Structure 1
Amino acid sequence: MTMINRIDRAIDMTGRIVKGIAAEHMSAPTPCREWDLRELLNHLVGGMNIFAAQLQGLTPVRDHHDDWLGTDPQGAYAEAAELDRAAWHRPDALERPVRLGFGEVPGPMAAVIHLTELVVHGVDLAVAIGQEGLVDDRLCAEMLTIMHEMGLESFRVPGMFGPEVEVPADAPAHRRMLAYVGRA
Structure 2
Amino acid sequence: MSEVVSRIDKAVDMMAGVVAVLGDDAWERPTPCRDWDVRTELNHVVGGARIFAAELTGTEAGAAHEADWLGEDPHGAFALAARLDRAAWARPDALDGTVRLGFGTVPAPMAALVHLLELVTHGADLALAVGRPELIDEQACADLLADLDGMDFERFRGPGLFGPAIPAPGDAPAHRRLLAFLGRDLPAG
Decide: shared fold, TM above 0.5: yes
Give the number of equivalent residue pairs: 184
Alignment partner of 1:21: what SS? coil
Q: Is the 1:46–1:68 contact (alpha carbons within 8 Å) kept by the matching residues of 2?
A: yes
Q: Is the 1:141–1:177 contact (alpha carbons within 8 Å) kept by the matching residues of 2?
A: yes
Cα root mean square deviation, aligned: 1.0
Give matches, 1:33-48, under 5 Å.
33-48=34-49
| TM-score, scaled relative to structure 1 | 0.97
Alignment partner, residue 8 of structure 1:
9
Mapped pair 1:124 → 2:102: no
Alignment partner, residue 178 of structure 1:
179
Deviates more, 1:44-53 or 1:30-39: 30-39
Alignment partner of 2:22: what SS? coil
Q: Deviations over 1:88-130 (max 9, x none)?
A: 0000000031111111111101000000000001101001001
Alignment partner, residue 104 of structure 2:
103
1:34 and 1:108 map into 2 onto residues whose CA distance is 30
2:123 and 2:47 map into 1 onto residues whose CA distance is 14
Alignment partner of 1:99: what SS? strand
What is the percentage of aligned positions where both structures have the same residue? 54
Alignment partner of 1:98: what SS? strand
What is the CA distance between 1:36 and its match in structure 2?
A: 1.0
1:183 and 1:138 map into 2 onto residues whose CA distance is 19
| TM-score, scaled relative to structure 2 | 0.95
Give matches, 1:151-166, under 5 Å.
151-166=152-167
Unaligned 5+ segments in structure 1 are: none
Mapped pair 1:54 → 2:46: no
* Runs of 4+ more than 4 Å apart: none
Alignment partner of 1:86: what SS? helix
Mapped pair 1:147 → 2:148: yes
Alignment partner of 1:178: what SS? helix
Alignment partner of 1:16: what SS? helix
Q: Deviations over 1:51-81 (max 9, x none)?
A: 0011001122111011000111111111100
Give matches, 1:72-83, under 5 Å.
72-83=73-84
1:139 and 1:72 map into 2 onto residues whose CA distance is 28
The residue type paired with residue 42 of structure 1 is N
